[in-house]
């Protein structure tokens, strides 16, 4: 995962992860990023409004899980002002 190298050189206000499928690989990537960028909130975007997966993602280190359906700049900024 080459993107992980950039966390040693750059400070991020937030990390947005867009997953086309909700699976164990998504959870492992969230866990790795939580270690690589412990101060940046991790927001996971996924294809479905799945409360069980949302809870798993937060336990893995994400700040929040947001279903992509109906997600726009205004909704994201309202829910997470750091993304404004």
SS3 24: helix
Q: Is pTM, for the whole model, over 0.85?
A: no
Q: Which CATH number do you get for residue 79?
A: 3.40.50.2300
How many domains in the chain? 1
Dump pLDDT digits (tens) for 20-75.
Answer: 765 667 788 889 888 888 888 898 988 877 888 889 999 999 988 888 877 766 66
**Range of weakest confidence among 4-8, 12-16, 17-21:** 4-8
The whole-angstrom separation of Cα 68 and Cα 61 is: 19
The boundaries of the domain holding residue 29 are 2-83
Question: Which ranges in the chain belong to alpha helices (H)?
Answer: 24-36, 51-60, 73-79
Handedness of CA 23, 26, 27, 28 (dihedral sign): positive
The whole-angstrom separation of Cα 28 and Cα 48 is: 19
pLDDT for the residue numbered 35: 86
Strand order from edge to edge, sheet including 15-18: 15-18, 42-46, 64-67
Per-residue pLDDT, averaged over 14-25, amounts to: 75
């Amino acid at each position: 995962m080459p993107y992980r190298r950039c966390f040693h050189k750059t400070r991020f206000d937030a990390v947005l992860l867009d997953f086309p499928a909700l699976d164990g690989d998504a959870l492992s990537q969230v866990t790795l990023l939580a270690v690589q960028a412990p101060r940046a909130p991790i927001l996971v975007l996924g294809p479905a409004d799945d409360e069980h997966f949302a809870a798993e993602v937060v336990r893995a280190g994400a700040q929040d899980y947001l279903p992509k359906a109906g997600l726009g700049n205004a909704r994201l900024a309202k829910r997470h002002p750091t993304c404004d």
